[in-house]
Amino acid sequence: MKFEHTDVWGFEHAIRGMRNPKASWDKSDSYRADDGTFVVGPADMALMRKLIKAGSEHRKFMRQIEVSVDISSGLHWWKEFDTYKIGTTANSTSTMHKIATTPITIDMFETDDYKPDLPFSFTDDQKFNLNLFTDYMISVLERLREYCQDEELDEQTRKAYWKELIRWLPCGWLQTRTVTMSYEVLLRICSPGQRRHHKLTEWSKSFIGWARTLPYAQELLFGDELEAKNEPATT
């Protein structure tokens, strides 16, 4: 699983809007550093954390902090990510259009914690390992792909092979999507009750690990951990 081209924006206008209800702009202590980085001040951070604890109707500023990232993961993970429809937008690479254009190899599948020597058997006297199955699966998919490209076959037959290639493509197939989502969405995803401790390591290690690298993630997305330790926010 890969996370590339991460971009975060919106802190400045989110904080300005956060102070609109009580016209408390003069209390804002955030600023833009000489290098252009936006720095959240202690007073603004304290208010942000207070509003986060107060509930979603009070922390509207979180919806105005946006993140864009290119995520490459298996189709099995994308099926779970698609639960988050509100506040997210995604454009994906096309499996339908591109799957038959490049030879199929193990690199095209999610293998972060792949255990190729994991034993299994159909009967007591037939013992295999997962690597043998994987090699066979990829060879079948590659042969189907070659039939899709065989110009000696008529178009209808090639299309039939293409359909079977799509039909039997495993959930481990990697797909890349450019995703845009808000800190509010990330707060829900990263909560202990949703994905932080999920049994899929793509969530609990990869996604959560990436989320922790975002600006002010500890204070805004994982603030419950600071509360548990009784630690103040750092800025």
Q: Model's pTM, two decimal places?
A: 0.85
Task: Please give the sequence-ordered ranges of beta strands (E in DSSP) within 10-85, or none if there are none.
Answer: 31-32, 38-39, 66-74
Mean pLDDT, residues 103-128 taken together: 81
Instruction: Summarize the confidence of residues 179-185 as an average pLDDT.
Output: 97
The pLDDT-based confidence of 97 (bands split at 50, 70, 90) is low
Q: In this structure, what token pair is assigned to residue 119?
A: 């034993």
The answer on pLDDT for 235 being more than 50 is no
Q: Count CB neighbours of 59 within 10 A.
A: 20
- C-alpha to C-alpha distances, 176 to 4, 34, 173, nearest whole angstrom: 10, 35, 10
| Count of other CB atoms within 10 angstroms of residue 207 | 24
193-222 residue pLDDT tens: 999 999 999 999 999 999 999 999 999 999
Q: What pLDDT is stored for residue 101 in this prediction?
A: 83
Closest C-alpha among 9, 7, 16, 8 to residue 61: 16
- Percent of the chain exceeding pLDDT 90 equals 72
The yes-or-no verdict on residue 99 having pLDDT over 90 is: no
pLDDT at 69 over 80: yes
Confidence of residue 134 (pLDDT cuts 50, 70, 90): confident
Q: What mean pLDDT is reported for the chain?
A: 91
As a whole number, mean pLDDT of residues 143-153 equals 93
Give residue 216's region: left, alpha or beta (phi > 0; psi -120 to 50): left
Q: What is the mean predicted confidence (pLDDT) over 2-13?
A: 97
- The whole-angstrom separation of Cα 129 and Cα 114 is 12
Q: What is the pLDDT of residue 130?
A: 79
